[in-house]
Chain A
Amino acid sequence: SQTIHQWPATLVQPVGSPLSLECTVEGTSNPNLYWYRQAAGRGLQLLFYSVGIGQISSEVPQNLSASRPQDRQFILSSKKLLLSDSGFYLCAWSPSSVSSYNEQFFGPGTRLTVL
């Protein structure tokens, strides 16, 4: 069966510091991968998605970036964090095959607090 991992689970960082969040998927090949952010009391916003190694699409302009160095690894980064980057970051994956729907499966999330 497929599983998705995220780490760290929680993170407290000062403004201006760098960020690296990691997501890995097991039990599947060539998945689509996604980074979402959930701000406090709000819904989810798609930040990035990837359909393959080195292929990243950005949904919103911001100071975050994403990379996919391996097939089942997805990394969210920032060179300098802002207060507004605080939130709950969720990684998700979906099968790569085109079907009648694209069901996405979410990881446990990383809670980031920027002080």
Chain B
Amino acid sequence: GDSVTQMEGPVTLSEEAFLTINCTYTATGYPSLFWYVQYPGEGLQLLLKATKADDKGSNKGFEATYRKETTSFHLEKGSVQVSDSAVYFCALIYTGRRALTFGSGTRLQVQP
């Protein structure tokens, strides 16, 4: 079946450091890919998305590129802030399917 694998957390960085959170997926066909962010005590917010190979999703300084050849969708940010501290979820879905398949989430802690 389909699955999403994320790097184990927590990831602890200093403010202004470069961020990479790895995400790889196993799927048949070509799903759409998403990154969601969950701030403490809140629901999930869509951070960015990509719907086909080589698409780059971007939002709030975060970027991720849909890599079909490596089945990856790594999240990056050039300079993190304390306010970026949250749990980040990678997810996929196929056209016509109902359920998002989520990774287990990666907690990011940014220290001042």
A residues neighboring B (CB under 8 Å): 6, 32, 34, 42-44, 46, 49, 51, 57, 59, 90, 92, 98-109, 111
B43 touches A107 (CB 8 A): yes
Return B2 CB to nearest CB of chain A, in Å.
12
Within 8 Å of chain A (Cβ to Cβ): is B42?
Answer: yes
Nearest Cβ in chain B — how far from A21, in angstroms? 13
Contact B95 A109 (CB under 8 A): no
Chain A neighbourhood of B46, CB < 8 A: 103-105
CB-CB under 8 A from A106, the residues of chain B are 36, 43-45
Contact among B45, B51, B100 with A46 in the assembled complex (CB-CB below 8 Å): B100
B102 close to chain A: CB less than 8 A:
yes
Main secondary structure of the interface of B (DSSP, over half): loop
A42 near B95: Cβ-Cβ < 8 Å: no
CB distance from A47 to the nearest CB of B (A): 10
Check B95–A99 contact: CB distance below 8 A. yes
Per-position 1/0 for B37-56, Cβ under 8 A of A: 00001111110010110000
B99 adjacent to A109 (CB under 8 Å): no
Known: A43-B102, A46-B100, A57-B98. A101 touches B49 (CB 8 A): yes
Question: Quick one: which of B49, B93, B104 contacts A42, CB cutoff 8 A?
Answer: B104
In the assembled complex, 24 residue pairs joining A and B whose CB atoms fall closer than 8 Å, in A order, are: A6-B43, A34-B98, A43-B103, A43-B105, A44-B44, A44-B89, A44-B102, A46-B99, A51-B98, A59-B99, A100-B32, A100-B95, A101-B49, A102-B96, A102-B97, A103-B46, A103-B49, A106-B36, A106-B43, A106-B44, A107-B43, A108-B42, A109-B43, A111-B41
Q: Roughly how many angstroms separate A106 CA and B95 CA in the complex, as a whole number?
A: 19
Is residue B73 contacting chain A, with contact meaning CB distance below 8 A? Answer: no
In the complex, which residues of chain A have a beta carbon less than 8 angstroms from the beta carbon of B95?
A: 98-102
Contact present for A49 and B44 (CB under 8 Å): no
A109 and B104: CB pair below 8 A? no
Residues on A with beta carbons closer than 8 Å to the beta carbon of B103? 43
Q: Do A101 and B51 touch across chains, with their CB atoms under 8 A apart? A: yes
